[in-house]
Structure 1
């Protein structure tokens, strides 16, 4: 039988999941997503990616500002949904909302819980230098990402992964899990497994974290750069101007933190050195270090802030 499903999601990460659930033949009776926000240089009100895709598919969309309002939960309860599928929705659901569908709310989370509970699991996994991460579908509970695990898929974090590429891979991997989870609901075969191990928290990325601290080891900074690429982007000051660093490689060289060690953007760190290979000066497009240096002279021995 086809299930009556409420889908909750907002960014690009959630779209493949919605598409897969539609393709699996279940009934999407309503899509919840964040309200339109002002974006771009013109600060125009822009619908979320999920909102745009849902409308393209002819699905009814709701954009409540908050699920803390009783009227919003009343409307959810009136839908008599079998289950809610939640993917990066961006709102905390109170217990009454979690209990509204017959089988509750299932959430797709981009880490191997209990590691990296919270808002930025993909970024934090790369920034911490983790070798592996994954996606899991869990039964949502009142706490922050504390629910029982229903399905899990792991993947290695590649040396070239950025937050963007890893997020895209996890999004696709996670989307393919939904037909299995929903099929298990139909058969009454979902098997919840409590989370085990020490919990870590993927706190929201703060702007203050983006500035590179050259006193840190080069390996840490290389992970930091990839975890913040492309947004908000790690950065440093070069010749008094802000420059985003999209990619860098670690080299076994020594110099003072922030010291320019050669004529190809090798920078000293607390341990070893970091060669900046892909950068973006303020107001310009992303470019290679070689292209950047054609228009910028940076003497060996210069200190970067």
Structure 2
């Protein structure tokens, strides 16, 4: 059928549904929810059988839902209503929640329930992580059930069957959660309570607090281990004790938490220039204040309860060992500092006696490439600029990719537990083998960021998989790829596992088999010979120089498109129109000339 996705933004859930619906053979187009008149125009142009709204912040106009079936995806159980569904659920500590697909009506979130799907709430998950994983997977199931009830030409659904027939409205209306409900009482709140409050506001809006007299919002919190906390046992609750990478160590009544990211808050929604204050690593925002705090570095190989951005483990017996490198960078963004840490970790990993190395990235994102927030922040640093910060960052991530490409004495496997975008995709493609699970979405292109050319050796890594022509086509189309689509066109080698947990177990099993395979030595000889042949044909240094020459024009040239696009992205400036590569109904040839599916 013809389906119009109406959404506030083209977020991870919308992208997952976009790929899935296209795989199922539906004709899918996207319209961003900008204004009622724009939505009405989109419906008139596309003439959809059904409008699906995965992520909205306001009502669909009656002029649309009264004439066309409009289904809204709500991250709550049947009957739950309001804009803070996940926030309230997490603050209550519910063990189970759900996703509901309901029909748009005059009252928001109050229409007829077409389908819903429950899920178990993962302990210690942040709101944004829960949304990207459990909520998204439940939404996929619920949307599938709802579409099965669609009757062409009718506004009402077909009768439900089984458990879906009992969509009892166990939820209730919840207003937008105020900061007063999130406030941390450092003199009373235990570590689990502090973590739950910050987790429930992760992504947006954060938890309002004060550090060194500066109001700010807290994000990205992790429990501190007993070993870290023990030397500070005499400290007071609320005291900032130490630092590690991006994070500050803050005392609680019964332990301590690491606070990874903060956003200064001056009490205004925006500055005079229309920008808000950026969310950045806590140690960057308070660089002066933390300068004299101890840096509590953690080894790459460490206990489970010790938090850091990178972690390395080994599995298997001698001579058939698998190394496993996690790099859990917040939202998948990799700053210059983080790229250098990854590069150094990869250099150290070379010294380990393993036959296979797994690059596992993070659980929510493998990587999204260079850190656009960090780059934007450089604009306000004396003697620095966004162009210079971009140049340093792209060279740092290239250094990390080079370590993977030149690691020829073992098999490298990129295991994508979460989504990957732009340079993060091509960092993965530097590995010999690239796997993902079925829920992963890739965006293997750069052009959406102001026609950015990109680097990370993509001009070498992508054509060796797809060929030159197919590589250029993929880079130009600017659309997300579901993992199954990526396998079909050769970007990925395989896709397996329903979720991250099942995927991890299967990746390890496959890699242990690979490490013990009798033909491993021959496989490594072939890999090394291919790398030597490729280097003779055209060196990696030449690929890098050519890419950097092109991308330098994006950073320093007369065309400001990259800088404008980055600025709009980091400050979440609302779209004035839907990009044409998404709004297929706004192509020059009117969609109404296409026969409507029967």
User: Where does structure 2 lack aligned partners over 5 or more consecutive residues?
Assistant: 226-232, 243-248, 265-278, 284-288, 295-598
Question: Which has a greater percent of strand?
Answer: 1
Deviation string 1:145-181 (CA, Å, 9 cap, x unpaired) is 1122221111122222001110101123312433332
Residue in 2 that maps onto 1:60: none
SS state at 1:20 partner: helix
Structure 1 position 217, deviation (Å): 3.6
* C-alpha distance in structure 2 between counterparts of 1:250 and 1:142, whole Å: 48
User: Is 2:207 the counterpart of 1:247?
Assistant: no
User: Is 2:80 the counterpart of 1:81?
Assistant: no
Structure 1 position 260, deviation (Å): 4.6
Structure 1 position 107, deviation (Å): 1.1
Residue in 2 that maps onto 1:196: 169
Structure 1 position 92, deviation (Å): 1.3
Structure with higher RCO (Cα < 8 A, 6+ apart): 1
Aligned residue pair count: 251
Contact 1:222–1:247, Cα closer than 8 Å, also in 2 = yes
Larger C-alpha radius of gyration, 1 or 2?
2
Find the partner of 1:66 among 35, 38, 41.
35
User: Is 2:281 the counterpart of 1:285?
Assistant: yes
Find the partner of 2:59 among 92, 101, 105.
92
Deviation string 1:247-296 (CA, Å, 9 cap, x unpaired) is 25499xx999945599874323xxxx452134346686267xxxx98842
Residue in 2 that maps onto 1:213: 185
Residue in 2 that maps onto 1:58: none
Structure 1 position 127, deviation (Å): 2.6
Pick closer, same or farther for the CA change 1:177–1:72 going to 2, 3 Å.
closer
Pick closer, same or farther for the CA change 1:138–1:72 going to 2, 3 Å.
closer
Residue in 2 that maps onto 1:120: 84
- What's the TM-score once normalised by structure 2's chain length? 0.36
Residue in 2 that maps onto 1:105: 70
Structure 1 position 137, deviation (Å): 1.1
SS state at 1:141 partner: coil
* C-alpha distance in structure 1 between counterparts of 2:112 and 2:83, whole Å: 18
* C-alpha distance in structure 2 between counterparts of 1:150 and 1:180, whole Å: 8
Structure 1 position 124, deviation (Å): 2.8
Contact 1:132–1:155, Cα closer than 8 Å, also in 2 = yes
* C-alpha distance in structure 2 between counterparts of 1:262 and 1:136, whole Å: 44
SS state at 2:131 partner: helix
Contact 2:179–2:208, Cα closer than 8 Å, also in 1 = no
Residue in 2 that maps onto 1:181: 146
Structure 1 position 234, deviation (Å): 2.5
SS state at 1:201 partner: coil
Structure 1 position 79, deviation (Å): 4.3
* C-alpha distance in structure 1 between counterparts of 2:116 and 2:235, whole Å: 44
Contact 1:4–1:81, Cα closer than 8 Å, also in 2 = yes
Residue in 1 that maps onto 2:293: 296
* C-alpha distance in structure 2 between counterparts of 1:255 and 1:144, whole Å: 51
Question: Which has a greater percent of helix?
Answer: 2
Structure 1 position 142, deviation (Å): 1.4
CA RMSD of aligned residues (A): 3.9
* C-alpha distance in structure 1 between counterparts of 2:98 and 2:22, whole Å: 23
- What's the TM-score once normalised by structure 1's chain length? 0.66
Pick closer, same or farther for the CA change 1:163–1:255 going to 2, 3 Å.
farther
